[in-house]
Structure 1
Amino acid sequence: MTWNKFVLPLVLLCLWGLQEEAVQACSCLPKHPQQLYCNADVVIKAKVVGVMPGTQGGPPTKYDIKHITTFKGVKTVKLFVAIYTAPNSALCGVTLTKGTEYLLMGTLHSDDSLHVLSCDFNQPWDAVSVAQKNLLYRYREGCDCVIKSCSSFPCHMTTSKECLWTDFLPVKMGRRDQAQNFACIKNSKGFCAWYRGSEKGYPALKGHRMIWKTFVLPLVLLCLWGLQEEGAQACSCFPIHPQQLYCQTDVVVIRAKILGVMPGAQGKGRPTKYDIQHLTTFKGVKKLFAAIYTGPNSAACGVTLAKGAEYLLMGRLQSDGTLHVSLCDFYEPWDALSTTQKNLLSRYAEGCDCTIKSCFSFPCCMTGPSECLWTDFLPEKMGVGEQAQNFACIKSSNGCCAWCRGSVKNTQL
C-alpha cells in the first residue's frame, strides 16, 4: 500500500480555487464518485474532438465531443455532440484535452445542452480504475444510501443506510481506495454496505452478487451452541473473527485430515482424541501432530469432526505439547472455506497489531486508526459472514489498519 504525505482538506479547498485573474474562487467539497453519479443528470464516455473557448462575461466554453457510451441519463437516439463548461477555473470551468476520452458526469440544462463543472466528475477514461468502470453499472443500486465522509476519528455510523467513506483520513490521504474500487450498495432489506467492483476486464456486467440470509439473533446462537442432551452446564462462545483467533499467541493453525477417533469420557476427565494426518502448518511450532484433542461432548466445548474429512483447525498448544480445539476455536472443513479465506491465511499475521472491533448495532464507532469495524453481526447481515470469509484487517507501514479482501484466485495451499 502506497501512502502520500498528509495534506489538510482545507488547504486543498483553497488551492483548487486559486487562479491569476479571478477575484472569486471555485471550491468543491470532496465527494465519492457514486455520489456524483447519483446527483448527475447524465453520465457518458466521450472523446474530445475540438474546443471553442468561452469568455468571462460571454458564452461558456464549448467542447465538441464524440459521444461513445451512455451510463446514465437520456436514452435518445440523438447523441450529444458537445459539452459545455464555464470559461475559466474561477467559475468552476474544466480543461479537457483534445483527442482524449473522458468519463463525464454532467447536468442537463433546459435547452438540452450538457454542462460539466470542476465539482463534477471529469476524469480521463484511462485514469479510471477497472473496478470503477465496472461499478458504473451498479452505482444506481446505492443512490438511496448515504455515503458519510470520515476525515478524523471517531467516525460514527448511525443508521443501516450509511457507508463510512474513510479515504480522507490523514493516514490514507492520496490512496482513495474506496473512491476508485468500491460502491455503497443497498440490498433488498434496505441495508447499505461497501461492495468492491470486479477487477476483471471491462465490462464485467455479471459481477459478484451479494447474498443475504435470514436474521438470527447472536444471543440465540450463543444459547444453541451450548445445548446438548446430557450436560448440565452449557458451552457458550462470544463471536470472534478468524483472524483474531489466528493472532492469539498460543494458537496453532494447521490443515489436517481426520483418520480416526477415540471417544472421551466426561466423568473420567478423558478428552476425545482424533487421529490426524497433518498436511500443512500455517502458524505455530514446526512439528507434525499425529492427534488433536477436544472436550468429550458439546457441553464441555467439544467439537465433532468427520472421519475422512480435511479441516482447517486453529487449536491451542498445551504445556504437554498436545494440541486441543474447542467449540470456541476455529474448525471448518477445508472445502467449506472460501478461496479468499484460504489465501488470507498467509496475510493474517500482517494485522495482528490491529484491533477488530465488533459492531452489533448502530451507532458503530471507530476511535483510532488501528481499528477495523466488524459488521457481520448487524441484524441485516446475520448469516452472511462476508468479512469473516473474505477479509483481513491489515496494518500499513503508517500504522493504519483497514479491511483487505483476499485474492479470489486459486492458489496451491
Structure 2
Amino acid sequence: MKSIIMLSCLQLTLLIVILKMNLGEACVCMPMHPQQHYCRADFVIKGKILVDDLKVLSDNDTKMKADNDTSTPNMRMYKVRIEKIFKGQELMGPKKHAEIMVSRLGETCGMPLQENEVYVLTGRQMKNMYTVNMCDWVRKYSHLSRKQRQGIRHLYKQYCDSCQIRPCFHGNCQATTPNTCIWNVSGRMLNNNELDCESDYSRCIKDGAGCKWYMPQTMKECMQRRVQMRHNRIP
C-alpha cells in the first residue's frame, strides 16, 4: 500500500510540474502519440512550406476570433503546397494549396516551419481557417519512421473509435479499461535520450475483447535496446 501511495504522489507531482510549465513556459504539452494526434485532428496533411507568402496576423485580426473570443494569440499564416491529404479531404477538397495558421508560440519551442521543407501537419478547422497549434504534430516528413508513414496513410484511423492511449508518468500504471493501451512516458519525461518505441514503431490496436500495442519486429528490437540503455544507466 505504501508503494502505491508513493507512486501516486510521484504521478501527481509530475502532473503539477507539467501544468505549471504549461502556464509559465508555454513550451510543454501533454505527451501525445502520433495515433492520438491523427485521431483527434480535423486534418492530417503532407505539405511543402512556401515561406514567400508568409504573413503575421495580430491579436486584432477578426478572421481569427471566435464569436465570443477577445484575446486570440498571434498566428503566422503559411501558404502550403498540399502533397497528400491523409485526413480531412471533405474539409480541404481538391485544393493544391492552402493557407495554414500556426501559433507563433511554437517559434520559441523549436517549431518554426522552414522554407521548402515537407512536413506532416495535424490541426483543426476554425471559422473556415486551418490552424496548427504548438501541441499538434508538426514533423518533417523525412524524419518519420516507416511505421509512422504507414500509420498516417491508413493504419491509425482503424482504431480511433475503439482504442485509447493513456500516458503513464511513473512507469507502473495499470489500464482501467480493456480498450486502453498504457504508454510509459516516465523515461522520456526525465531523460531526453529515452527511446520512444511506441511512437516510432507501434500503434494501439484491437485484440479480441481489448486493445494492445502492435508488436512488429522493429518494435521488439527497439524495446530491447531501451531495456539495455536503462540497464547501462543504473549505477
SS at match of 1:179: helix
SS at match of 1:53: strand
Structure 1 residue 27 displacement after superposition? 3.9
Q: Aligned ranges for residues 130-141 of structure 1 at < 5 Å?
A: 130-136=146-152, 137-141=154-158
1:124/1:17 CA distance change after superposition, 3 Å = farther
> What's the C-alpha RMSD, in Å, of the aligned pairs?
3.5
Structure 1 CA distance, aligned partners of 2:18 and 2:119?
A: 27
Q: 1:64 aligns with which of 79, 87, 93?
A: 79
Paired residues, number: 196
CA deviations 1:124-162 (Å, max 9, x no partner) are 111111111112211112212111111214221222101
Q: Give the counterpart letter for 2:82 in structure 1.
A: H
Q: Report the counterpart of residue 68 of structure 2 in structure 1.
A: none
Q: 1:191 aligns with which of 181, 191, 210?
A: 210
Q: Aligned ranges for residues 275-290 of structure 1 at < 5 Å?
A: none
Q: Report the counterpart of residue 44 of structure 2 in structure 1.
A: 43
Q: Report the counterpart of residue 158 of structure 1 in structure 2.
A: 176
TM-score by length of 2: 0.69
Do the aligned partners of 1:56 and 1:87 also contact (CA within 8 Å) in 2? Answer: no
CA deviations 1:158-177 (Å, max 9, x no partner) are 22101110143357863111
Structure 2 CA distance, aligned partners of 1:26 and 1:138?
A: 29
Kindly indicate whether structure 1 or structure 2 has the higher relative contact order, using CA contacts under 8 Å at least 6 residues apart: 2
Corresponding position: 1:179 with 2:199: yes
Q: Aligned ranges for residues 209-288 of structure 1 at < 5 Å?
A: none
CA deviations 1:318-365 (Å, max 9, x no partner) are xxxxxxxxxxxxxxxxxxxxxxxxxx9xx9xxxxxxxxxxxxxxxxxx
Q: Give the counterpart letter for 2:194 in structure 1.
A: G
Q: Report the counterpart of residue 10 of structure 2 in structure 1.
A: none
Structure 1 CA distance, aligned partners of 2:185 and 2:149?
A: 19
SS at match of 1:115: strand
Structure 1 CA distance, aligned partners of 2:57 and 2:225?
A: 52
Structure 1 CA distance, aligned partners of 2:18 and 2:150?
A: 32
Give structure 2 stretches of 5+ with no counterpart.
1-13, 62-74
Structure 1 CA distance, aligned partners of 2:55 and 2:24?
A: 20
SS at match of 1:35: helix
Q: Give the counterpart letter for 1:40 in structure 2.
A: A
Q: Report the counterpart of residue 186 of structure 2 in structure 1.
A: 168
Q: Report the counterpart of residue 77 of structure 1 in structure 2.
A: 94
Q: Name the one with the larger helix percent.
A: 2
Do the aligned partners of 1:53 and 1:62 also contact (CA within 8 Å) in 2? Answer: yes
Structure 1 residue 74 displacement after superposition? 2.2
Q: Report the counterpart of residue 7 of structure 2 in structure 1.
A: none
Q: Report the counterpart of residue 137 of structure 2 in structure 1.
A: 121
Structure 2 CA distance, aligned partners of 1:141 and 1:125?
A: 21
CA deviations 1:279-316 (Å, max 9, x no partner) are xxxxxxxxxxxxxxxxxxxxxxxxxxxxxxxxxxxxxx
Do the aligned partners of 1:94 and 1:116 also contact (CA within 8 Å) in 2? Answer: no
Q: Report the counterpart of residue 322 of structure 1 in structure 2.
A: none
Structure 1 residue 67 displacement after superposition? 0.1
Do the aligned partners of 1:49 and 1:63 also contact (CA within 8 Å) in 2? Answer: yes
Q: Report the counterpart of residue 72 of structure 2 in structure 1.
A: none
1:172/1:93 CA distance change after superposition, 3 Å = closer
1:91/1:53 CA distance change after superposition, 3 Å = farther
Question: Taking every aligned residue pair, what percent have the same amino acid on both sides?
Answer: 27
Structure 1 CA distance, aligned partners of 2:57 and 2:111?
A: 14
Structure 2 CA distance, aligned partners of 1:392 and 1:55?
A: 47
Does 33-42 or 70-79 show the bigger shift? 70-79
SS at match of 1:37: helix
Q: 2:21 aligns with which of 14, 27, 33?
A: 14
Do the aligned partners of 2:50 and 2:80 also contact (CA within 8 Å) in 1? Answer: yes
Structure 1 CA distance, aligned partners of 2:229 and 2:123?
A: 39
Structure 1 residue 108 displacement after superposition? 1.3
Structure 1 CA distance, aligned partners of 2:217 and 2:146?
A: 7
Give structure 1 stretches of 5+ with no counterpart.
1-7, 19-24, 200-343, 348-390, 401-413
SS at match of 2:182: strand
Do the aligned partners of 1:17 and 1:89 also contact (CA within 8 Å) in 2? Answer: no
Structure 1 CA distance, aligned partners of 2:81 and 2:41?
A: 20
SS at match of 1:97: coil
TM-score by length of 1: 0.41
> Which entry has the higher C-alpha Rg, 1 or 2?
1
Q: Give the counterpart letter for 1:42 in structure 2.
A: F
